[in-house]
Amino acid sequence: MLKYLIRRLVTGILAIIAAMAIVMLLIYSLMDRDLVFSKDPMFTRQTSNTRYVYMYSKWEEYGYLDYVPYTEWLQELANKGEIDEETRSAAAAFGRTPEEDSDIVKEYAARFVEEYESQGYSILRRDADLLGGRLAAGGAQIFFAHQDIPLFERLLTYLGNLITVDSIHYSEREDPTGGVEDPGVTFTLHDPAYGGKKFAPAIMGNGTEYKYLLYFSNKFPFIHQNIATIRLGASYSVNKGVDVFETMSRPQGAYVLSDTTFPTGLQEQAADDLHTARYSPNSLAAGGDFLQARFTDNYTNVGTVKQSFSKLGFSFVIGIIATFAAYLLGVPLGIAMALKKDKLFDKLGTMYIIFISAVPSLAYIFMFRAIGDVVFGLPTTFDLEKGSKLMYVLPIASLALPQVAGTMKWLRRYMIDQMNSDYVKFARSGGLTEGEIFRKHILKNAAIPIFSGIPGAIIFAMTGSIMTERIYAVPGAGGLLTDAIAAYDNGVIVGMTLFYATLSVVSMILGDVMMTVVDPRISFTEKAR
């Protein structure tokens, strides 16, 4: 079993990598990269040569290419000590046209071209844009090298940055002024975030990215850590500059105020979550009296406590409840259809199955939405401020009812197959009652593939919630993906692809495990096969 699971896991990882490669190929190579500016108001303000500079710098930021301005290359030479400041300044003063370049500019420009063309870069130099003999708006001459990042390199870089481990030297990399004094890790039994009086063990860092590396709280999952952090890639439009996983896991809704003891000892009602404190260079001095009254160092970047779930939380809650409801309804209905084969109940159930299968999902979701609104007066959109539990009803119903149809269909089919099996006829001839045959044989065997599909059904509910979340304005992970697609936010698209692909692989492995639990006769060992 263990060997099978390891092999299954390796195969799953390879499938995830393949899916990531295909998505990256589609969005970075086959899709028109100009589309990323379709909702960028700054792009429309750029004119003439400045538009080229803006485009290529953004494409570098978004992961399309490597962009090297000539002036930055000169500055790098100066930083290495290869040229002095006077030479750098003279070489940077390239003319409006190549013909107007000075001798020193021509020398270094030729070196720049030779160096980067030998590495496969393309060189772009545009003359100054003149209007009436004067420099037009945004028309300053430009000179830079650029090269598309190969797919394999992009994929390796992404996977290499997927998990980052905090380090006591993090501040030294982020803060050129000196970081922090005496970097290291300390253990405390009395968490300062609780005023230092409550017994609450915590591991705290100094010089690390996060102040709290490990801590306990009264909120699920109760033990929290910032030692290893998942990085799915930064968004550049939907939630600009914030990592996709952080966007999905961040609480939402109204602020929750509570008695808070800040590191200086100041106590006040605040929504600050001190356990999320992150290092921010020079933030204490720049924050003025407000921050200095509360914090003692540059760990001033803190999140806030909010009343509602994160995007992941909403998707998980809705998906799990929908799956539970689907099995709660679908299993008994499927059994009843099998027992009453070809009778009125079976025909009505078949009609429902055909309806769900034939009608586009968007159509019946809107139908459920209309019925829920007009007939039952249920909320049709999420309102985090009100926080009514009734707003969950329609999204859960829209996800559960298709799963009910699927459970009914397959359980009916499996049960009828079992009813017509030779072992059932043998059991009847052996004197077993119909009830015993049904409970001990037919239902037990027919239920094996149904229950083994529970993990996959949960995943389906969450991945299938993309459309449902959009229609009901659910602030979940599915809506994040649709927003990213609409805004051509490639960072979020890639991150969400990895997230959903991982969930799919996990569901398949858990399904196999569930199958062996339900039916001990099933084994995945080589010997058993």
Measured CA distances, 144 to 56, 113, 198 (Å): 9, 9, 59
Pair of tokens at residue 482: 């649709």
Pair of tokens at residue 512: 């196999």
The pLDDT tens digits of the residues spanning 62-84 come to 889 999 999 999 999 999 999 99
- Has residue 127 got a pLDDT over 60? yes
Measured CA distances, 429 to 12, 434, 441 (Å): 46, 11, 14
- Has residue 294 got a pLDDT over 50? yes
- Token pair 């099996």 is at which residue? 421
Confidence (pLDDT) at 529: 46
| Bond preceding residue 475 cis, omega within 30 of 0 | no
- Token pair 């921010």 is at which residue? 280
Distance CA 363, CA 385 (A): 29
Bridge-based pairing of strands 212-216 and 134-135 is unpaired
Q: DSSP 3-state assignment of 367?
A: helix
The pLDDT tens digits of the residues spanning 368-418 come to 889 998 988 888 888 877 778 889 999 999 888 888 998 888 888 888 887
The pLDDT tens digits of the residues spanning 180-204 come to 888 899 999 999 988 888 899 999 9
Measured CA distances, 267 to 255, 263, 309 (Å): 18, 9, 27
Computed over every residue of the chain, the mean pLDDT equals 87
Confidence (pLDDT) at 291: 93
pLDDT band at 527 (very low <50, low <70, confident <90, very high): low
Confidence (pLDDT) at 464: 57
Q: DSSP 3-state assignment of 75?
A: helix
The pLDDT tens digits of the residues spanning 467-481 come to 888 888 888 888 888
- Has residue 178 got a pLDDT over 80? no
The pLDDT tens digits of the residues spanning 309-320 come to 888 888 888 888
- Structural domains in the chain? 47-149 (no CATH), 167-226+251-308 (no CATH), 314-489 (1.10.3720.10)
> Quick one: three-class SS letters along 372-390?
HHHCCCCCCCCCCCCCCHH
Which of residues 364 and 457 earns the better pLDDT score? 364
Pair of tokens at residue 256: 């929750």
Backbone dihedral region for residue 429 (phi beyond 0: left; psi -120 to 50: alpha; all else: beta): alpha
Measured CA distances, 342 to 345, 350, 395, 446 (Å): 8, 10, 33, 19
Please give the average per-residue pLDDT across 7-32, as a whole number.
Answer: 91
Please give the average per-residue pLDDT across 281-297, as a whole number.
Answer: 91
Lateral strand order in the sheet of 223-225: 184-188, 202-206, 212-216, 223-225
CB count in 10 Å sphere of residue 280: 21
**Interior angle at CA 165, CA 163 and CA 167, nearest 5:** 155
